[in-house]
């Protein structure tokens, strides 16, 4: 993709239309939710919205998909489409009539099976090598990541699930720690896995690290693993990994970090963590037309051999559908260029909100109390990511802003196009009071800045902010 292929137009799409670039490409992972009301209606599982919204994460679907939602273990849309076209008999049951399907027995347009299967090992090696090059540390004294240290999965959630299941067996029976405000589905995964106990420190503060150290020092609990995010999804805060690494070495536990919101291009985590998790659906792909996840086993970790043994015992074969891997490979060719462009655009856009009288808070790794923690891991040519969140002083102003924001709106982030969503209203709708207790207001809006012309993005943001100003000054 060259600059001429970057998204150019910004507009809010009709309800249910695929948020994907190029427009109308198949297998989108996000659907348009153009109004605050539509987000709430989907979260409340209103039937009319469930029938309209066809493209989304499994985490936003009905209860029967709970296991898939948490583990990411279901098949992808490409895999499902292939099955529908190749199986002699396959039907589906659904409470929504339009989702009931029968097998398609017409001649398939897919390439001959043997040919694309023959390409799979090559595609896998290319993806593993690319991730290896992006993730290897800039510190020369550290061992480089090898392709065999990179494991691929159909979704980011599946990578988290496999990590949790395998690590629970490394030092059983011990507790696991979730440090900082972690994506809620990750917490669900940790609860599902066979840990002795889940201990949560939701603020991600130094005081909580003090508390954890007191627990470990007094031998009140044995810790096997700590899960964290850098930066965290929605608060965009960064944990003190330097201190966590010191504690991990002292008390013999494993450090796992999800760096999706920061990404390989911007941050270097190998000096401090044992395992790096990433949703390849986000900035690695960028186009919102494929899912994927990766896990990097750090060859510098003192736990490397035991971790590798446990993972190899459970993870014997590639579990990604080959056609999804091929799309990931194509989409990620120019990741570095796209990330750098999105980094620059985000800083320009954020300045519109920083200091605006209607805005109470802007969350981004480039500012705030955990800036130094992020800066410690930023690569020489790395930036601060393209995702930020904004909190308006008046919750009603947030609704006005969102409804008048003329960009793609829906789930996901790290897309080549600008994308916004009121995070709590969609992802943790039934936990709003609990979220506010830990510094995540129910009206917080997440904005993922895309590759469009920054002046055009700013124009759309200014128009929505102007509507907020009109609303707030109206009698």
List per-residue pLDDT tens for the chain, 475 residues long. 454 578 877 899 988 888 888 887 888 888 899 999 999 998 887 776 666 665 554 444 444 455 555 555 566 766 666 665 665 555 566 666 666 666 555 555 555 566 767 888 899 999 999 999 999 999 999 999 999 999 999 999 999 999 999 999 888 889 999 999 999 999 999 999 999 999 999 999 999 999 999 999 998 899 999 999 999 999 999 999 999 999 999 999 999 999 999 999 999 999 999 999 999 999 999 999 999 999 999 999 999 999 998 887 777 666 788 889 999 999 999 999 999 999 999 999 999 999 899 999 999 999 999 999 999 999 999 999 999 999 999 999 999 999 999 999 999 999 999 999 999 999 888 899 999 999 999 999 999 999 999 999 999 999 999 999 999 998 7
Terminal-to-terminal C-alpha distance of the chain: 49
CATH number assigned to the domain covering 113-331: 3.40.640.10
Q: How many CA atoms lie within 13 A of 437 on its CB side?
A: 6
Domain spans, the chain: 113-331, 335-473
In sequence order, what are the beta bridge partners of 153?
293
465, 351 contact by CB (below 8 A): no
- The CATH topology of domain 335-473 is 3.90.1150
Q: Quick one: pLDDT at residue 62?
A: 45
pLDDT in the model for residue 256 = 99
Of the candidates 158, 184, 143, the residue with the CA atom closest to the CA atom of residue 428: 184
Residue 45, token pair as written in the block: 């599982």
Cα 368 from Cα 297, distance rounded (Å):
30
Q: What are phi and psi of 256, to 5 degrees?
A: -115, 130
CA nearest 179: which of 157, 149, 200? 200
What are the tokens at 228?
């964290």
Please give the model's pTM, rounded to 2 decimal places.
Answer: 0.89
Question: Residue 456, Cβ neighbours under 10 Å: how many?
Answer: 16
- Neighbour-count burial for 193-225, b at 16+ CB within 10 Å, e otherwise: bebeeebbbbebbeebbeebeebbeeeeebbbb
User: For the purposes of burial, counting CB atoms within 10 Å of the CB of 458, is it exposed (0-12), middle (13-18) or buried (19 or more)?
Assistant: middle
Residue 444's nearest CA partner among 453, 435, 434 is 435
Q: What is the pLDDT of residue 205?
A: 96
User: Which residues, 6 or more positions from 424, have their beta carbon under 8 angstroms from its beta carbon?
Assistant: 234, 431, 432, 435, 440, 441, 442, 443, 444
Q: 61: which residues sit within 8 A by CB, 6+ positions away?
A: 69
**What burial letters (b/e) apply to 405-425, b meaning 16+ CB within 10 Å?**
bebbbbbbbbbbbbbbbbbbb
Distance separating alpha carbons of residues 134 and 150, to the nearest angstrom: 12
């Amino acid at each position: 993709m060259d600059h001429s292929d970057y998204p150019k137009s910004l507009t809010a799409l009709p309800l249910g239309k695929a948020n994907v670039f190029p427009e109308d490409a198949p297998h989108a992972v996000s659907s348009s939710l153009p109004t605050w009301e539509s987000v709430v209606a989907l979260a409340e599982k209103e039937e009319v919205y469930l029938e309209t919204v066809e493209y989304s994460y499994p985490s936003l679907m009905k209860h029967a998909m709970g296991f898939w939602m948490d583990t990411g273990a279901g098949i992808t849309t490409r895999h499902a489409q292939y099955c529908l076209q190749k199986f002699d008999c396959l039907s589906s049951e659904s409470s929504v009539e339009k989702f009931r399907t029968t097998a398609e027995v017409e001649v398939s347009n897919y390439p001959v099976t043997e040919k694309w299967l023959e390409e799979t090992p090559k595609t896998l090696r290319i993806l593993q090598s690319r991730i290896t090059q992006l993730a290897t540390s800039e510190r020369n004294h550290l061992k480089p990541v090898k392709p065999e240290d990179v494991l691929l999965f159909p979704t980011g959630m599946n990578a988290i699930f496999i990590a949790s299941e395998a690590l629970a067996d490394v030092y059983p029976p011990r507790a696991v720690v979730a440090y900082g405000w972690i994506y809620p589905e990750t917490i669900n995964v940790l609860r599902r896995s066979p840990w002795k106990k889940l201990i949560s420190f939701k603020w991600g503060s130094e005081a909580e690290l003090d508390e954890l150290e007191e627990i470990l020092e007094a031998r009140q609990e044995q810790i096997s693993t700590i899960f964290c995010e850098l930066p965290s999804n929605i608060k965009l805060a960064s944990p003190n990994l330097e201190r966590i690494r010191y504690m991990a070495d002292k008390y013999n536990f494993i450090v796992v970090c999800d760096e999706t919101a920061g990404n390989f291009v911007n941050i270097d985590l190998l000096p401090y963590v044992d395992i790096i998790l990433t949703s390849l659906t986000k900035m690695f792909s960028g186009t919102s037309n494929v899912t994927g996840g990766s896990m990097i086993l750090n060859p510098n970790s003192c736990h490397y051999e035991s971790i590798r043994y446990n993972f190899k015992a459970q993870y014997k074969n590639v579990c990604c559908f080959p056609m999804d891997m091929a799309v990931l490979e194509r989409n990620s060719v120019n990741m570095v260029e796209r990330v750098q462009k999105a980094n620059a655009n985000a800083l320009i856009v954020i300045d519109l909100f920083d200091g605006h009288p209607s805005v109470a808070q802007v969350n981004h790794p480039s500012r705030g109390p955990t800036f130094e923690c992020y800066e410690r891991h930023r690569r020489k040519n790395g930036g601060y990511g393209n995702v930020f969140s904004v909190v308006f002083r008046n919750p009603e102003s947030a609704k006005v802003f969102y409804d008048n924001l003329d960009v793609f709106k829906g789930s996901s982030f790290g897309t080549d196009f600008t994308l916004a969503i009121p995070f709590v209203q969609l992802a943790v709708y039934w936990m709003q009071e609990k979220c506010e207790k830990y510094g995540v207001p129910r009206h917080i809006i997440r904005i993922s800045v895309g590759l469009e012309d920054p002046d055009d993005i700013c124009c759309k943001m200014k128009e929505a902010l102007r509507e907020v100003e009109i609303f707030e000054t109206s009698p």
